[in-house]
Structure 1
């Protein structure tokens, strides 16, 4: 019996050692992955704000990482909030299909004389990468969620969807207000010269604004927006978190029914000009014929000469 027990123990001992070894290996792997997870880096197009998140840490900002950073020890359990470091752009279009994509939207503004104008343009800007400013931005906005177009709530650092949700709720209203303020001060014809065809009597056509004058008005709008937008957004957000604003107004369109009316007005104006030209031509021919007849009466021989030459 004693011999059997010794033999059994001899067989069990190696198995137990194997189990212990496997457990130790698993623990070592888990520890290695945990330690490795305490390192991070950034790509060329992003900056990161790292917040403490370990079981014995607070939730304060630990460090800010610049784009293309080296692998950096950030501690175990820390949160990494990644923000876009490259120049961003926001597109305003009249194409509803394009507006379904991220960073693109539609906007309609009434002119000074009440015509609905579709705006097309692009706003360029960048996130302020100053470490102190970026820390403050993460404290103020990186800890809040914003509602996106799909009605989902996301943090600004949660990818493109998260950034678009933040921009749409916090920044977009300021842009809209600035555009409305500047564009609503102009008449439709000041920005779209063909609007004049809709607003005047075809029988008494007035001079139209030239394309050069229209382009000059575009430039005035752009300069006014670029001058005011930086201050407006800084006051709204509470600090210069976004910088380098530059708006380019590319085109202003009219509603289809108004554009159709203008096209018809232009066609009617063309017909009017043609009719007036025909009248003037007929008057000129009649005047020439009258002058010729008077000449013949004064010179009967001239009439015979023209008749022989086939000019009469």
Structure 2
């Protein structure tokens, strides 16, 4: 079955580009798995061995972890992510994927105290307005945005939830300092998800890959602080390619962590001047997003 082959292939922890290449070359997911396990490809031996583990063994491993495997055909797969080009073929999910509008709040790991304060305030105000907060659970801006959202109140009282998108296995806490935050995201009714199978190390090349998932899950993206290069700008560029509105927080022209956000604003991103300003923007956008969600 296709879903069985998908799960096996997912455990190879290959890059999306390599997976696409295998499927195109061999004509289907099932044929790609057969070629890999038959050592008829140039896939590394360790990945071949992982892909060769039977479906029922992998299914039992995920059950033990309490992790769901969602293919892009699964009705539980995020609807926004299912409509973008180059999106993931599957997700490993711990927790409950929330409904409703979502804002991606991203920024630099090496941020300022001012940036941390703003990110937490933005996460708080967005969640209080019923927006889910999507980010990468990285140190710095990402973690601060999640902390703010978690302070907004209980989801059953109308507050938004958190969605953390990892660049490693769903059972790998990275950075380790965010272990408690990981648990709070789940306990707060949110979800942690990854395109990569459990046990996958946080290799550097996996993080730009996960940024397209953050962009694809978001109705709006806000960049709080960013240097001239980095993951936050990658997320912003992908969001623009997806047609997702991008907002950025302006900063001092001589501050390294404002170079990226100021450049985004120069190139057409909308500036956000504080939590009240973000609240106004989200209130204005909410009716449009709600109408789009129901196809009106």
Do they superpose with TM above 0.5? Answer: no
**Per chain length, whose mean CA-contact separation is higher, i.e. which structure has more relative contact order (CA < 8 Å, sep 6+)?**
2
More strand by share: 1
**Which TM bucket (shorter chain)?**
under 0.3
Q: Which structure is larger by alpha-carbon Rg, 1 or 2?
A: 1
Instruction: State the TM-score, normalized to the length of structure 2.
Output: 0.21
Q: What is the TM-score with the length of structure 1 in the denominator?
A: 0.20
